[in-house]
Amino acid sequence: MPSASPLSGRHIAVLLGGLSGERPVSLTTGRLCADAVERLGARVTRIDAGRDLPQVLLRERPDAVVNCLHGVWGEDGTVQGVLETLQIPYTHSGVLASALAMDKTKSKAVLKAAGVRVPGGGLFDRHVVAREHVLTPPYVVKPNAEGSSLGVFRVFEGANGPPVEVGRDDWAYGEQVVVEPYIPGRELAVAVLGEPAGPRALAVTDIIAATGFYDFEAKYGEGGSRHVLPADLPAHVTEAAMRMAELAHVALGCRGVTRSDFRYDDLKDDLVLLELNNQPGMTPTSLVPEQAAFVGMDYDQLVLWMVEDASCPR
């Protein structure tokens, strides 16, 4: 007789969509993860998460939740707090780690204290940043608590003025923005699985953006970027990136799957961790499933690992 499906008899809720600007990415991540959970034999409830989420979860009473939300509210500890209150096992990081990882300024402070090399710069009022150069160009401006490269501007050397867009009335990414020196070089990414024996970095991907800058279109648009896996790097750089990603995962108290993004300057042999994503995408162009496949774990196996890793408290 054939063996039972791995998740047979379980009821899994998949949270997708949500309230942030990353809603379209979350819808894709959630759809693909839900399909995988169904193939694994579970009964799946797809929940387009809104502010009535507690009531929906109380009604559905799932055995566990796969959190496929991205951005504010779904990724910053808020939904995690709901799940903790309802005592429902869930994937990815807990309340504190999620809040820390989502706040770029606070996470940089924690990572720096742990010995991880991070960019300089600081947190500034967006109206000041729109009015004058707060750093000498080139520099990068980005929201303090947003993902998927939404609201990110690169100010080039010799630029006539600052990014006026961050001062507009329709700016939707908070009153303070992060301004960091632009770090030249290659865009690298490392996925980490938080296994019981300790975090395990999977591989290093070298991301070559079609536009020369890894923005939203480069991340999610068809042909927006090319991924070189494994990255063609000196052995000591590959090792350093993987160890640094594991250290960042531990320093922020993360659980489940994370992805750390780096810049590597070949000329200076300088590796800097830009940020850690505590709920990375699982879309067709996403880096985590690609790295998992590289080490022999297909999409369904990765999702199964995530579900089996779910717990409460986190």
- Which of the following is catalytic: 259, 278, 290, 314? 259
- Which of the following is catalytic: 76, 187, 261, 309? 261
Question: Tokens 């991907």 appear where?
Answer: 205
Query: Is-catalytic flag, 22?
Result: yes
- Which of the following is catalytic: 22, 75, 76, 180? 22
Query: Is-catalytic flag, 81?
Result: no
- Which of the following is catalytic: 277, 278, 286, 309? 277
Residue 110 to residue 101: CA distance in whole angstroms: 10
- Which of the following is catalytic: 246, 275, 290, 309? 275
Query: Is-catalytic flag, 148?
Result: yes
Which run of H or E residues covers position 189? strand 186-195
Side chain identity at 28, as an amino acid letter?
T
DSSP secondary structure code for residue 106 in this structure: H
Which run of H or E residues covers position 277? strand 270-277
Query: Is-catalytic flag, 277?
Result: yes
Query: Is-catalytic flag, 239?
Result: no
- Which of the following is catalytic: 90, 214, 220, 264? 220
Q: Is residue 86 exposed (0-12), middle (13-18) or buried (19+ Cβ within 10 Å)? A: middle
Query: Is-catalytic flag, 20?
Result: no
- Which of the following is catalytic: 21, 147, 194, 281? 281
Q: Phi and psi dihedrals of 275, rounded to 5?
A: -170, 160
- Which of the following is catalytic: 148, 225, 278, 286? 148
Query: Is-catalytic flag, 281?
Result: yes
Closest C-alpha among 117, 123, 69, 113 to residue 91: 69
Residues annotated as catalytic (active site), given as ranges: 22, 148, 220, 259, 261, 275, 277, 281
